[in-house]
Structures are given as C-alpha cells and as structure tokens.
Chains A and B, each alone.
Chain A
C-alpha cells in the first residue's frame, strides 16, 4: 500500500499513542520507600511513592557515544554548587567520560556514590535541580540527622520478568526534636577525565536523582528513617 505523504512531522513529535496515560507499558520504574522507626526500633510509618525524577545530570551522563560523535555535541553537568562542566565523549584521548579504576596507582581519579541526601525544602522542576532546596546536614544539632551507612547493590535481583536493585541509607535523629523530611536526592562525587588524565574535571558533588516527597516524613527524636531507592525494569 502506498502511503507517501502526510506524515512529514513524525520525526519531530512524540506520538500521542506512545504515551497513552491510561495504559502505560511497564518498562522502568523507580520507587522511593522510607521506613520510620521510633526510639525503640519499632516501625511507625512506611512511606512509599513513585520516584519521578532523574535529573538533567543523569541524562547527560547516560548519553551514548554516538550522540557526541554524530552531532559533534557536548553535554553539561551542573554540580551541587551551580558550577557547570561541559564534556564530549570520544574514543581516544580527546574523549571525556567517567574514570574507571585501574592498576596505575597514580592514575586513578575516583568518581563514586556519595549519599542519599535528605532535605526539608522542595522545588518545582526536579529535572533541572542540581541540589536539594534545603539539605539536612549530617549531625546531631537541631534540625540535623546523623547520616548512616550506605548499602549499594552488588547484583540484580530477578523475580519473573522483573529485574531490580536498590540503594539504601539510614539516618538517626539525635537532634533532640522531630526532624521532617520533604525532599530526597542521590548525590555522587563526580570526576570526568580522558583516559590519560591530561584533562580531569573535578566536578564534585552532583545531584543525579531528585524527588519531592508526596507527603512529609517526620522522624521522631531518637528515632531513625531508612530510605530505599529501588530501580526496576518490567515491574
């Protein structure tokens, strides 16, 4: 059948039926779970919601090589203090990307997961966020939380066609009062470099994922909260 004309715009818009709001295909979802415990260790609240927001930093870091090479393009990372770093990937010494651990002890530029940061503010455009609106400091003073151990995934778990991993961190409230969390984000300590390290961008703390909680979480004095970020395909 000859179709020919009439679909000239198909490259410039996303088809409506690919995003049918009543019938999403389950592809990739992220969940945010917070388990709050009182001073006795008893669970007093479980908060669950869809996590909605990879930041522009995440997408810039996820872009494939062909984006850079086929468009002669660069991407920009904004660190948590608002500093910007443009980079372009390539095969060879001109390409800037995430460093990888190697056997030359003087040639390592560590780029690593830093924390799930919690905060007491909010902001309307998570995609463009580069820091939490009001980060809660690590400590035992008023309004602070003691940031505990991080558990990073070591494998992917399978359940039928669902594959997932999660990242978790626990925070203890030793402030003497209730601390309320309204926003959460994933922060990495980022470096970008070419493989011979003649160009190294010490980007620093970088917000990769950000969520405003659908309802505030109150952590009682002497209590704790454990936050889980779960990343799943085919949930």
Chain B
C-alpha cells in the first residue's frame, strides 16, 4: 500500500489502529462460564458467553511484560507508563542498609473474580462493579472460596467458587476479572512489606441473571486465550 505523507498525529492513529483489516481471530479471545449447583449438588444452570469488555487496566497490565519496569540499564526509575497509567511509584522506597547491600523490590500480580448484582454501561476506565456482592453469609452476600488459576498452552483459566449461605435467592448480573499488583520490598524499618494496587481488568454482564437459590454453589470461570 502506498500512502500520501503523514501530516498529523491523527493520520498516524488511523494507520496504527486500523479498522479495515480482515476479521481474523483477535490476539486475545476470552469467555466466561458459570455452573450453578443446587444444595444437593445437581447442576441447575450452565452458562457461557464471550467475554466482551476488557478495560484499559487489562491493557496496562499486559504492558508490563512488554515494556518492563526500568527506564534503562542505569536509570533506576520506573517507566513513566507505570507511573502515569497504573499509579505505581517511580521508585519504591526501601530500606537502605548501612553497608553496600542488596535488598530491592519486585513486582507481581494476581487475578480474582468479583461478582455483582447491578449493571452499568461499559467504559474502558471502569474500576469497579456497579453493585459488588460482599463476601459473607448475610442477606445478599455470597461466601467466596479461594481463587485458583490454571494454565494450558496459551490459555489462562481463573476460577472462583461461591456459596449462597443466605436465606434468600441471589441474582448475579455482573462479573469482573480483578487484577491486584503487588510490589514487594523491605520497608524503611527493615521489615517485609508489600504495597497493593487493585484494578478491574474486565467487565461483563449476565442477561438473564445467574440465579443462586439458598444453599446453591456456583463456579465462575474466566478463560483468556492468546494466539500462539
């Protein structure tokens, strides 16, 4: 393809985020799955749907393996993307030993699944569900089990199991994949500490709702598959 000369940032944007390429499989495809069991263990609902709505926070998290953390080999400052977008420190304050020594900091992240009973319009800057369902056994609450993650080839599966111990039926109408970034370091008191930063990575709604009667157990799964 031969193009006339580029004259503005707008022209570049049209080139680098093209809308005229063929409808090939995206670099990332994802789906959500829900299985609901009654209190006797019978499956009473099985539902799956494409995951449609990654937020800018998923994009930002995926940027870390690509652009890494340091500005360069001898510049001990975080790349500005991490500071500007994710709100991470340009430099983590750490304990500085009196003698030349080594302790530093590292970064890692985890996934979690959050459920809600509300709905809201999508925006790539969303950072929470409309009406998160709290962890507990009271009215309108669900007891969340621990999150597990498996990985097979190019797919990462994140699961959570919830139980409705409350006496009332709970309708799950929204789901999100949450990301928690940890920066680990030795603090200025020379003790271990991690700083956490939370982000809503994806946001999707269920229509109709996933209904959990009293005593029901439900497993929610989010699968992220990269092209390989």
Residues in chain A within 8 A of chain B (CB atoms): 1-4, 7, 10, 14-15, 17-19, 21-22, 24-31, 33, 35, 42-54, 56-59, 61-67, 70-71, 73, 89, 91-93, 95-113, 126-127, 152-159, 161-167, 186, 188-190, 193-198, 208-209, 228, 230-235
The answer to whether A102 touches B76 (Cβ under 8 A) is yes
The CA-CA distance from A49 to B17 in the complex, in Å, is: 10
B182 at the A interface (CB under 8 A) = yes
Q: B69 touching A163 by the CB < 8 A rule?
A: no
Q: Which residues of A contact B4 (CB under 8 A)?
A: 43
Which of B73, B90, B158 counts the most chain A CB atoms within 10 A? B73
Partner of B92, one of A19, A102, A154: A102
In the complex, chain A residues whose CB is within 8 Å of the CB of B74: 110
B94 interface contact, C-beta 8 A: yes
Q: Are B71 and A112 in contact (CB under 8 A)?
A: yes
Instruction: List chain B positions with a Cβ less than 8 A from chain A.
Output: 1-6, 12-13, 15-19, 21-31, 33, 35, 42-46, 48, 50-56, 58-81, 84-85, 88, 90-97, 100-111, 122-125, 146-151, 154-156, 158, 179, 182-186, 192, 194, 223, 225-228
Which B residues lie within 8 Å of A67 (CB)? 149-151, 156
Beyond A107-B102, A161-B123, 10 additional pairs, beta carbon < 8 A: A19-B29, A33-B18, A44-B2, A54-B27, A108-B76, A127-B154, A154-B81, A154-B84, A156-B56, A164-B17
Chain B nearest CB from A25 CB (Å) reads: 4
* Contact of A63 with B151 at beta-carbon distance under 8 Å, contacts A24-B25, A102-B76 already known: yes
Whole-angstrom distance between the Cβ of A70 and the nearest chain B Cβ: 4
Chain B residues positioned under 8 Å from A103 (CB to CB): 91-94, 96
Q: Which residues of A contact B93 (CB under 8 A)?
A: 102-103
Other-chain contact of B148, A14, A66, A158 (Cβ < 8 Å): A66
In chain B, what residue has the closest Cβ to A23?
A: B23
Residues on the A chain within 8 Å of B67, using CB: 113, 152-153, 167, 188
Contact of B29 (CB < 8 Å), options: A18, A93, A152, A155: A18
Q: Given A27-B51, A161-B124, A195-B104, are A21 and B46 neighbors across the interface (CB < 8 Å)?
A: no
Residues of A within 8 A of B184 (CB): 91-92, 95, 195
Give the complex CA separation of A195 and B69 in angstroms.
14
Instruction: Evaluate contact between B81 and A153: CB separation under 8 angstroms.
Output: yes
B59 and A232 contact, CB distance less than 8 A = yes
When the two chains form their complex, are residues B105 and A46 in contact, meaning their CB atoms are under 8 A apart? no
* B24, closest chain A residue (CB): A50
- How many Å lie between the Cα of A154 and that of B72 in the bound state? 15
Q: Are B59 and A231 in contact (CB under 8 A)?
A: yes
CA distance A56 to B26 in the complex (A): 17
Residue among A4, A33, A110 making CB contact with B16, cutoff 8 Å: A33
CB–CB B15/A48 < 8 A: yes
Residues of chain B within 8 A of A66, CB atoms compared: 110-111, 147-149, 158
6 A–B contacts, CB within 8 A, in A order:
A25-B29, A46-B1, A101-B69, A153-B81, A195-B184, A230-B16
Residues in B with CB closer than 8 Å to A91 are 182, 184, 194
> In the docked arrangement, what's the CA distance between A65 and B147, Å?
10
Q: How far is the CB of A12 from chain B (nearest CB, A)?
A: 9
Report the minimal beta-carbon distance from B97 to chain A, rounded to whole angstroms: 7
Say whether, besides A66-B147, A103-B91, A54 and B104 are in contact (CB < 8 Å).
no
Chain A residues whose CB sits within 8 angstroms of the CB of B52 once the complex forms: 25, 27
Are A228 and B104 in contact (CB-based, < 8 A)? no
A10 near B33 (CB under 8 angstroms)? yes
**With a CB–CB cut-off of 8 A, which chain B residues contact A92?**
184, 192
C-alpha spacing A164/B124, complex, angstroms:
10
- CB of A113 within 8 A of CB of B66, answer yes
Which A residues are in CB contact (< 8 Å) with B56?
156, 158, 163, 233
Interface centre among B75, B94, B154, B179 (most CB of A within 10 A): B94
> What residues of chain B lie closer than 8 Å to A44, measured between beta carbons?
2
* Residue in A closest to B56 when the chains form the complex, CB atoms: A163
Contact A2 B42 (CB under 8 A): yes
- Among residues of B, the one whose C-beta sits closest to the C-beta of A66 is B149
Q: Are A101 and B182 in contact (CB under 8 A)?
A: no
Residues of A within 8 A of B15 (CB): 33, 35, 46, 48, 228
- Distance of A1 Cα from B45 Cα, bound (Å): 8
